[in-house]
Structure 1
Amino acid sequence: MAIDSKHPQFTRERQDEWRLMRDSMDGESAIKARGEVHLPMPDAYRRMDDCGRLAYAAYRDRAGFPELVAPAVSGMIGVAHAKEIGIEIPDALAYLWESADGQGMPLEELHRQITRELLVTGRYGLLADAPAGGGEPYLAGYIAESIINWDAGLSLAM
């Protein structure tokens, strides 16, 4: 299978859902910035002299978007991480506690990031990798939108 081939479940609709969730996390300004993607122009506006541009701008400015998603996700992360989990790591990999991603992100923060992504998009990819020139292995994370293909036989966090 070609590296740029897409899994049948990697659809435009799925990508649109992820975009909506990410914009919802960012709040009202992100929703409004997407314009007609999230706030379709009413058909009656299109029949106006200026194709409804002024009426739509006023409509968009008046629109309200309840800021519920980000606080809900934040609260669920708090609940999920309220109790410390027991992670057993061999001594040879103990450095992951301080730099799980090879860039200085502590393992606990990576765990919170994984939880956030699972709550927002329902999936997250994690790959154990190592520097090409040698060095300590690290964990590389991938958001839902960057995972275009997968093998159903593999164990994935989706």
Structure 2
Amino acid sequence: MNEAIEQQIASMVEPLVRENGLELVNVEYLKEGAHWYLRLYIDKDGGVDMDDCSTISHIVSEMLDQKNPIPQAYMLEVSSPGLERPLKKEEDFVRFQGSLVNVHTTSQFQGYKKFSGNLVGLINDEIVLEYNDERVAIPRTLVKKTHLALDF
């Protein structure tokens, strides 16, 4: 159910975010303790600032109040995806080729559930990483999440 709401909200707010020169990176709708949260992660070249987050929060809040797509009370949060930005869209896998990423799978694949390596790309619906001169191709159907990794 949460995934359906996340997709619905993403399709509703993405045009608004884009109109403001920003990119909608991710939408999360989840319950933490007794409260529901709707989190929007936005980005742009050079990163977002508080003004960007405030603008999008105001615009999206007005639209959600009018359309009322979520039945229960929730808190809206708008922020940057951070340094470990998730990769979800096909464009993300092109944009961040060569970057260090972590891939978490839903079940073991080749004996592991977490992979780290340089992103080669998304090829034939597999996330291809290179690590120590070896390549691993992880079927996207097994992937729980993929995100940029910090390289120290």
- Greater relative contact order (CA < 8 Å, ≥ 6 in sequence): 1
**TM-score normalised over the length of structure 1:** 0.22
More strand by share: 2
For normalisation by structure 2, the TM-score amounts to 0.22
**Which has the greater radius of gyration?**
1
**Larger helix share, 1 or 2:** 1
